[in-house]
Chains A and B, each alone.
Chain A
Amino acid sequence: MKTRIKFRKYGALRFIGHLDVMRYFQKLLRRAEIPVAYTSGYSPHMIMSFASPLGIGLTSDGEYFDIELKEPISSREAVRRMNAATVEGIDILSFRQIAEEKKWTGMAIVTAADYLAKWKYTDTMGYSVPGNPSFDEILSERLPAFLKQPEIFVLKQTKRSEKEVDIRPLIYRMESRKDGIFMRLAAGSVQNLKPELVMAALCRFADIPEMPDCFWWHRLELYAAADNEAAGLADAGHKFVTLEDLGREIGEGHE
């Protein structure tokens, strides 16, 4: 049985890199005695597939990975056991059964992600002169004009070269909220836009030559493309469904 686990990563755990998060979950699943399936051979391991690795320093409310169970367990029980065996900094949010077909697992289906560039300093200390508009005020004010541009070219570094790319079509939604700037961006293996790149472009647009170190980067959610009306939200012609909503709760009777 294939299942998808959604979790939150916060606090000190943002300093734990992706590979170590994987190791963390391998051990957590064993402590929680979740009946996970193993590969055979001399060093058996769990079959795990992470949706979209989170970089060091970021927190998240919407992280996912898929595992294979060798026998069913109810969602409620699995979440309870895993939360009882976890540490401060990782919370399990849901545990759901997903379709068996390969194309529904892992990285392959991710198409968009929500981010929040949170203000680090509520008093904008050190970043503004008293009387002048503060940093977050400038950015919020310039945001509508920024988004009105038909094209936003940025320099993208690849392994071998640099090239100018238009990131505007990859920004599905962007708005100023009270705790920071919200972004819904293209994500996944086909097209992927990093929130830092967008904020750097916004800063340049607002005549702040260098992006100051005043954001916490936070991921809110990951989406797959929705192919039916029922699931989706419409954004600039795109329809999305959260990875969580692609799964369904496993009941007590495992039905």
Chain B
Amino acid sequence: MRKLALNDEILLKIEKPARYIGGEVNSVMKDPAQVDIRFAMCFPDVYEIGMSHLGIQILYDMFNRREDVWCERVYSPWVDLDKILREKKIPLFALESQEPIQEFDFLGITLQYEMCYTNILQILELSQIPLHTRERGEEDPLVIGGGPCAYNPEPLAEFFDLFYIGEGETVYDTLFDVYKQCKKEGKSRLAFLECAAGIEGIYVPQFYRPSYQEDKTLASFCPVNSHAPFTVKKQVVTHLEETTYPLSPVVPYIKATQDRVVLEIQRGCIRGCRFCQAGMIYRPTRERDVETLKKYAKAMLLHTGHEEISLSSLSSSDYSKLQELVTFLMEEFQGKGVNISLPSLRIDAFSLDVMQKIQDIRKSSLTFAPEAGSQRMRNVINKGLTEDEILDGAGQAFTGGWTKVKLYFMLGLPTETEEDMREIAALSDRVARRYYEIPKEQRRGKCQITASSSFFVPKPFTPFQWAPMCTAEEYMRRASIVKQAFSEQLNRKSLKYHWHDAQVTVLEGVLARGDRKVGNVIEKAYRLGALFDSWTETFRGECWMQAFADTGVDPEFYTLRERGEDELFPWDFIDIGVQKEFLRKEWNRALAETVTPNCRIQCCGCGAARYGGGVCYEDKN
């Protein structure tokens, strides 16, 4: 029997011990003596969240298909176990073997959101790995980061030995082969990192040195090791059919956030909303083959026993074979105890018909993400959804029996005026009015329109990367304007408005576009007790404020400044295919309130065509 790293006494004392015992269905066990590389794959948040992440399941499966690699999982211990591990000096362990991470060759950490950065330091510290690369010895695991936040790795540069920029399916095999070779030849850690730096897509931060202008902006960012290239090229899978897919994903014992089979139908998005980082970094849009997806669906349901299947992608309505796939899933699995859950789709006759068949319309709600209240603002952000589309879609749904609508907005967008803010309430009200236009005897009581707004955070590699943010106070002022406007609406009793916290937004802004100097702040905040910052119950803003004060780093330098046209950004050494000139052009078009057509209507030459596949070449051979 597998021996557990934690004893009974501990396991019976902590919340949800199942987070730490491993041994789940489809988890992979190997004989450590038979593998060359031990890889610990980490999602720096609690188990239930980390287990729901598709990217990790893809890599876990892909790595373990190699006979010479054993990939295991590790997640952030919740605060109760964190305390015990520190008190009893128990090293953090991987779920499968229950052996200390310290003994692994690699610790891979996925970077999905900025507010998990302090959790990364927790993982390193509990694993008894020195926090900074420069303090690590030959025996320490190599710490490698990847995922969307790796597109600006600089705030984390001190803590990682390597970053992987782009989709994991491309060069991990090469990296492993190089590692094995180096190990065989007895090469040092440094020598391996030099070899790795030569692999396209790999960034070794210690081989680069930034220098700064007097105004604290970046003056230059250059390699200081001859093995390191000037630019690091994002890795992209050109043809998704050539990749592996986890047909037997791990099935948790406890309910994870995603307790279902997830089918990834496409990568990337054709739309080009100007605030959206995913829409840029995953270019070009690539679809998966629908016949392959049908096979995957069957196999995965059988291998997991899940009772639900869902589709995953950005803007799923744009997947060209959506109707075929959804129809297949319904015909094949309905009546066999399988629920089909759809991502939010464009509301039209097809999606309404499908939704009617798979969910209880009295309980379910329709979702729209107009992101902004006024058409002017939607032109600025290049969100193609028009008011007519929203009202028509809602109208059709109301006639079909729906009464609940959810609307998602952003506040604090560039050029936003008070008029734009108030339009959030006005638009919500117009949706409600559409409902009350239905004759009373055909209605089902009142409608319920729920609007929520998050605050806009400018991200690297978007047209808004130059944009200033607001102060936390200003965000709250804007939210209160919207709230006030809601209370003035005709149908206010059918409207609800929620908004997010502003303090977290400001921090996210600092981390998203931060440079190397921000690393000190993260470490300080962690030392002061910040952990699980993405959880409202554990977020401690005061630790961060203190950390800024202690390190002398001014958060407003990162948030409140409109960046100059020629400013060198910390992430500019990464080449994502999409060109900086294109992003700049889009920024200017935003200011001119001009819409840019999507990739299927007209290619606007963003630069991603270089990858030789996807939407850039559809119908163009």
Decide if A and B are genuine partners.
Answer: yes
A48: Cβ under 8 A from any B Cβ? no
B305 lies within 8 A of A26 (CB) = yes
A44 lies within 8 A of B253 (CB) = no
Contacts known (A12-B4, A15-B17, A87-B23); A44 close to B337, Cβ less than 8 A: yes
Contacts known (A15-B18, A31-B305); A43 close to B339, Cβ less than 8 A: yes
Distance of A27 Cα from B255 Cα, bound (Å): 12
Per-position 1/0 for A1-38, Cβ under 8 A of B: 00000000011110111001001101111110100101
Distance of A30 Cα from B4 Cα, bound (Å): 28
Residues of A near B301 (CB, < 8 A) are: 30
Residues of B near A43 (CB, < 8 A) are: 339
Contacts known (A42-B358, A46-B337); A31 close to B253, Cβ less than 8 A: no
Residues of A near B8 (CB, < 8 A) are: 57
Residues of A near B335 (CB, < 8 A) are: 44
Select which of A56, A85, A88, A213 is within 8 A of B23 by beta carbon.
Answer: A88
A28 lies within 8 A of B305 (CB) = yes
The B interface is mostly helix, strand or loop, or mixed, namely loop
Residues of A near B304 (CB, < 8 A) are: 27, 31
Interface residues on chain B, number (Cβ under 8 Å):
32
Distance of A13 Cα from B1 Cα, bound (Å): 11
In angstroms, how far is the closest chain B Cβ from the Cβ of A17?
A: 8
Residues of A near B339 (CB, < 8 A) are: 42-44
In angstroms, how far is the closest chain B Cβ from the Cβ of A72?
A: 18
Distance of A30 Cα from B25 Cα, bound (Å): 13
Residues of A near B253 (CB, < 8 A) are: 16, 20, 23-24
Q: How large is the interface on A (under 10, 10 to 19, 20 to 34, 35 or more residues)?
A: 20 to 34
A89: Cβ under 8 A from any B Cβ? yes
A163: Cβ under 8 A from any B Cβ? no
Residues of B near A46 (CB, < 8 A) are: 337
In angstroms, how far is the closest chain B Cβ from the Cβ of A125?
A: 14
A89 lies within 8 A of B23 (CB) = yes
Per-position 1/0 for B10-47, Cβ under 8 A of A: 01100001100111110000000000000000000000
B4 lies within 8 A of A42 (CB) = no
Contacts known (A45-B337, A87-B25); A15 close to B11, Cβ less than 8 A: yes
B185: Cβ under 8 A from any A Cβ? no
Per-position 1/0 for B272-310, Cβ under 8 A of A: 000000000000000000000000000001111111000
Distance of A11 Cα from B23 Cα, bound (Å): 10
A29 lies within 8 A of B2 (CB) = no
Distance of A10 Cα from B254 Cα, bound (Å): 17
In angstroms, how far is the closest chain B Cβ from the Cβ of A215?
A: 11
Residues of A near B22 (CB, < 8 A) are: 12
Select which of B21, B254, B307, B358 is within 8 A of A12 by beta carbon.
Answer: B21
Per-position 1/0 for B243-266, Cβ under 8 A of A: 000000001011100000000000
Residues of A near B177 (CB, < 8 A) are: none
Most buried by A among B1, B301, B359: B1
Distance of A176 Cα from B251 Cα, bound (Å): 41
A16 lies within 8 A of B307 (CB) = no
List residues of B (334-349) whose CB comes within 8 Å of A's CBs.
Answer: 335-337, 339
Select which of A31, A36, A44, A57 is within 8 A of B303 by beta carbon.
Answer: A31
B9: Cβ under 8 A from any A Cβ? yes
B139: Cβ under 8 A from any A Cβ? no
Select which of B1, B17, B303, B306 is within 8 A of A88 by beta carbon.
Answer: B1
Residue of A nearest to B305 (CB): A27
Residues of A near B360 (CB, < 8 A) are: 42
Residues of A near B302 (CB, < 8 A) are: 30-31, 33
Contacts known (A16-B253, A43-B339, A89-B23); A213 close to B2, Cβ less than 8 A: no
Contacts known (A26-B307, A42-B359, A88-B1); A20 close to B25, Cβ less than 8 A: no
Distance of A20 Cα from B11 Cα, bound (Å): 16
Residues of B near A24 (CB, < 8 A) are: 253
A56 lies within 8 A of B305 (CB) = no
Residues of A near B251 (CB, < 8 A) are: 27
Distance of A31 Cα from B1 Cα, bound (Å): 23
Known: A45-B337, A85-B305. 12 other contacts (CB 8 A): A10-B1, A11-B23, A15-B18, A30-B301, A43-B339, A44-B339, A45-B307, A46-B337, A87-B23, A87-B24, A88-B2, A88-B23
Question: Which residues of A line the B interface, CB within 8 A?
Answer: 10-13, 15-17, 20, 23-24, 26-31, 33, 36, 38, 42-46, 56-57, 85, 87-89, 213
Question: Which residues of B line the A interface, CB within 8 A?
Answer: 1-2, 4, 8-9, 11-12, 17-18, 21-25, 251, 253-255, 301-307, 335-337, 339, 358-360
Could you show 17 A-B contacts with beta carbons less than 8 Å apart? A12-B22, A12-B23, A13-B23, A26-B305, A27-B25, A27-B251, A27-B305, A29-B305, A30-B307, A31-B303, A36-B337, A38-B336, A44-B335, A45-B307, A45-B337, A56-B12, A88-B23
4 closest A-B pairs (Cβ-Cβ)? A27-B305, A30-B305, A31-B305, A15-B17
